[in-house]
Structure formats: structure tokens, C-alpha cells
Amino acid sequence: MSHRGKILLFAGALVGLVASASYAFANEFIVQEEKDPNLWPVTGQNYALQRHSALSDINKENVDRLQMVWSQSSGALRGHEGQPLVVMVDGTPMMFLVSAWPNIVQALDLSDPDNPKEVWNYLKKTDRDESAVPRACCDTVNRGLSYASGKVVFGTLDGFVIALDAKTGKEIWVVKHSYPEHGETQTNAPMIAGNLVIAGFGGDEFAARGRLDAYDLDTGKLVWSKESNGTDEEIGITADTNKFNSRHDQTQNQGFTYPGDEWKRGGGSPWAWYSYDPELKLIYESNGNPGNWSPTTRCGANPPTQESCNSGKWDNKWSMTIMARHLEDGTVAWNYQWTPFDQWDYDGVNENILVDMPDVDGKPCKCLVHFDRNGFAYVLNRETGELLRAHKFVTVNWAERVDLKTGRPVKVYEHSPLKIGVTTQACPSAMGGKDQQPCAVDPKDPTKFYCPTNNWCMTDEPQERTSFQQGTVYVFANVYMYEEKPGVAGRFKKFDVLTGKEDWDIPDPYPDWGGALVTDGGLVFYGSLNGDFRAVDRDTGKVLWQRKLASGIIGNPIAYKIDGKEYISIWTGIGGWIGLPVTAGLDMNDKFGAIGATAMAKATNLPLIPQGGTLFTFRVY
């Protein structure tokens, strides 16, 4: 065992004594809070990331009377993904929100919900690392924060995880979690599960080696740390990993399926969303691409042909993989790789949504649903990892299908980039059939999902590798993205994950890069990158209400209720990968800029969308 591993085991043993005492409290607090539809206590409303509200005061009959009641500036300009939280702190309804870089946290007292009062704000002012900004591959976004045990916990782009006193905003603890000089930047919302703070980072395009860490909520001390590639011990794979499914043999140092020492820069960063099943005590973490986009440099076959590179030997495990990890020690109960030997940058980080389906192939299922960048919507048994369904939810030509017996995609080599200097066309684009923008589902109707999707294709020309250094650009590909159908950049759709059929979809000339909210009022809310915020009849797909907001929307709507009044809040602020050419001031005539984003930004007129981070809140009058 390495010296670092011994230290982690020792630290874990010590912290475990403290964690076990308060584990039940922190865990039970969140479980109880998420059952209250008046609150929005975690990123997806609940640990399952369903983004469903049981509130029905705002409904199909009165949504036309929905009006803005207040707004709040974030204090930052660009890249507002994520959502605020609404929780009770010692009997006081509070909203907590965090901005994009430089990551300003605000606390609003909602006792008078039409006129919130800011009671504190926080900005870390020491030891900041400005080099994180140009190393944030896909903009300086932040996807939110967490709350439990009187603490507000969030991450900063430059790699700090910070716990603040929810009443005062004072620092309780600060840890250095990720390091920009290693290519690591933090944009995700840390998740509190049990008495642990779970945090990852991004950086695959800067040669990071992916990792997921768990910190003690009370002290900030490191409890466990697991890599995405390397030895079984480093990853957390044990003899019991996958023992309940046919992939049980995939547990033998497969984190080394890269040529040479490429695994040290192997990517696989878990940079987006995490879900958690408190009964199974399993964390569901998905991770990103295997670093370098030039496929032959990740294939040790000689010569590197489609057949030899896709033989299974060079799968680049465990990038683009879902890990179901045991909360207490991070070991892997089961895992599944979405796109073995990736050739397109189909990051596997999209959210894993937990639902209980009454009938899947004749029996009930504790299921996990994942809409992947690669264009397939997957259904797995979240207890065992068994693959149950994989349906295309957008146009896909890189693969014919996913073989449910082997779990592997059946690739179409004509649309699979490989050779250096050879341009290949593929659908969907590297931004995926869906990127980080989360779907929503009503658990009472667990097969129907409401999803914002991308409808783009691309050409990809792999390039020679010119660097091996972490913290420097590590892409080596010329990517050009374009609309599959001119004039339609986004589609918001209702999709059945068991049948693979869509009930309806709404085409949009602008990208739909923000998340969804489904409510018991018969509505679905979502936003577009031109700033249109919409309420849709969830049965028919008819747009019932729409308002133009101050900037493009890449955030996720939430619902909450105070003093008998239901409210809807949404972040605005253009950004993310699709908005990066605007926020970073890139040359719109460079069609390969921002790894293909400039072409899409130019085609959809995003340079005409003003910047600025603002939270807008609505209710019915």
C-alpha cells in the first residue's frame, strides 16, 4: 500500500469514530427535508435527483397569471448553472445561493417571501488561484451548494471545499480539494450524504486524473479518496464489485487499460451531479472522458485499427463510467462504462436519476435512469447494476445500438474518429444528445422523463499530441459542430425510457442548456439560452406561459412554498460550454474555437445575448 493510502486509512479510522455518531442525524435531516414539498433542500430536490415538486398551487389553470415578484443579482457575470436551496434554519425559511466565479455565497431570509432580506454574504478572499479561470474548459460555472447540520457547503472553481455557518456565514472549515496546476477545477455542487461531503472536480481537457473525495461534515477531514483509474485498490474495486451482474469479471486492474503511463492523465473526472440511495447507502457517481481526445494515443495496438482499438483491451477504464460506491468507504458495489474506448468525447457525467418502477420485464425494479451524452437513455437496476434498457433519445449514428447482453455499444466505424488528420462525421456532437442540463421525472409516473436535449452533429479531426503535462490543454482534435436540422438547436421532450418513444417535443432555435422542473400542477418549467422561461402542459407539450428574462438560461428551476404561496425561481446568466465563446470573448469566426462551441454559438446568435447572473422569482397574482 502506498504511503498516501496508509494515511487515508488512518485518517478514515479516526474520522469514522466522529462520523458514526452524527451520521444518522445528517442523513435523516436531509431525508426528512426532501419529503417536505415546501422546501428545496438538495440540488435535485431530493437525493434521487428527480427535480419534481409535489406543489400544485401554480397549475395549468392559473399559470397565465404567473408574475415576477423579486430578483437578486449573483454579483458575478457569467456561467450560472445550478440552483439555489430553500431550507428551514431554526424555524426560519432561508434561501442559499452561490454564483459562478468568484463563487459568492448569499443567504436570504424568506420570512417575508415577497421581500427577501439578505442576512449575510461570503466571498473567499485569500489564497485564490486565478489560473483556474483559463483552465475551466467549459466556463467558470457553479452547480450549487448543500446544507445540513447548520452548515452550508460549497466548492470554488479554484479548488476549495468550504463549510459556512448557515446563520452567520462564518467559515467553519476550508479544505484544498483540487489543484488547477494539475488541470483540476471544481464546478460541481458537493453532496452531503450521511455525515460526509462528497466532492469531485473537472479537468479532463487539461490532463487531470479523475478522483472522488469524501470529507467529514463536522471537521472537513478527509475520510476516503478514490481515483477513476489506476489499481483496483485506488479505484475502490473489490472482489465483491459487480457480483450481482454479468460484469463480475471486470475487476482486475482494468484501470490500466491505457498505453504506457497514460492512465496518470486518464481523465474520468466526476465533475457534474451525484445521487444517493439512503436505504442502500450507495452513491451514484458518473465521470468524464479519458482526457486526450485523439483516440490513437489512448490505444496501444500496433497498428491502431478500429478493430484492435475496440477489442476491449484499450477501453480506457474507468472513464465514462458510473460508479455505485458504498458511502462508508467509497468502494465500488458495481460499475458500468457507458462508452468504452471513447472516440467522440461523450462524457458520462450526466445525472443518475433514481426511480422505483412497478413493472420492468414483469417485476418491480429499483431503477437508475441516465441520459448520456452519447445519445442513449439507459435504465439500470440500481441495486445490482444490471443493464435493462438503452434507447436512442436523439439522432445517433456512431452506434447501431447497445447490446444488452454485453453492455457494449455496437459502433459504426464510418462515424468513429480514429486516425490523426482524418475528419469524421458523427451524431450527436461532443456536447452530446444532452450535456449537464438535468432532466425531471414525477416518481408517480416513473417511466416518463422531461428532458432538454441538444440536436447537433459534428466533424472531428484527431491531431498529433504535443504535450504530456497536466494543467495544459490536452485535447488534440479539431471539432466543428453544427445543427442537425438548420434552425433547431434545442428540443425539450417527454420521453419514455422503457419503450424508447417520445410523447412530444418542442423545437427551439436556441440551445436548451438549462434543467427541467416537473410539478403536480400539471406543468413542466425550463429555460432557453435566449432567456425564454417557459411553463409547459406536461400532458400535451403545449407552451402555456413564457417570459423573456435578462440573460440566457442555463440554470435549473426550483419550486417552494412559504406562507401559503408557491414560488418558482430560476438562475439566468449565459455560459457553460455552449456559451463560453460569448463569456470569454472568443473569435466567432474560428469554427474550431472552444472545441467547436464557437460555431454553434455563432449559428444560434448567442453573441447577441447579454451576460449577467440574476435569480428571478415568480408567483401567481
Closest CA to 382 of 410, 413, 360, 408: 360
Active-site pick, 342, 345, 386, 461: 345
Beta strands in 463-564 (DSSP E): 477-483, 490-496, 502-508, 517-519, 523-527, 532-537, 543-548, 558-562
- Give me the phi and psi of 527, to 5 degrees please: -130, 160
Q: Please, which residues have CB within 8 angstroms of residue 39's CB and are 6 or more apart in sequence?
A: 33, 86, 87, 88, 560
Structure-block grid coordinates of residue 619: 408567483
For the beta sheet containing 363-371, the strands, ordered from the edge strand earlier in sequence to the opposite edge, are 353-360, 363-371, 376-381, 387-392
Element (H, E) at 55: none
Active-site pick, 289, 310, 455, 556: 289
Rounded Cα gap, residues 380 and 493, in angstroms = 21
Q: Do the strands 146-148 and 117-122 form a parallel or antiparallel pair, or are they unpaired? A: unpaired
Closest CA to 534 of 497, 575, 566, 492: 492
3-state secondary structure labels for all residues of 317-356: CCCCEEEEEECCCCCEEEEEECCCCCCCCCCCCCCCEEEE
Compute, in degrees rounded to 10, the torsion defined by CA atoms 457, 458, 459, 464.
Answer: -140
Q: Please, which residues have CB within 8 angstroms of residue 132's CB and are 6 or more apart in sequence?
A: 101, 140, 157, 158, 159, 180, 185
Closest CA to 461 of 414, 426, 423, 425: 423
Separation in Å, CA 330 to CA 85, 201, 202, 214: 26, 16, 19, 8
Active-site pick, 139, 184, 205, 342: 205
Rg of the Cα atoms in the chain: 22
Which DSSP string do the residues of 182-238 spell out, in sequence order? GT-B--SPPEEETTEEEE--B-GGGT-B-EEEEEETTT--EEEEEESSS-HHHHT--
Which DSSP string do the residues of 276-305 spell out, in sequence order? EETTTTEEEEE----S-S-GGGG---SS--
AA identity, residue 113: P
532 flagged as catalytic: no
How long, in residues, is the chain? 621
345 flagged as catalytic: yes
Q: Using N-to-C axis directions, what is the helix angle for 576-583 and 593-603, rounded to 10°?
A: 90
33 flagged as catalytic: no
Q: Which residues are catalytic?
A: 205, 289, 345
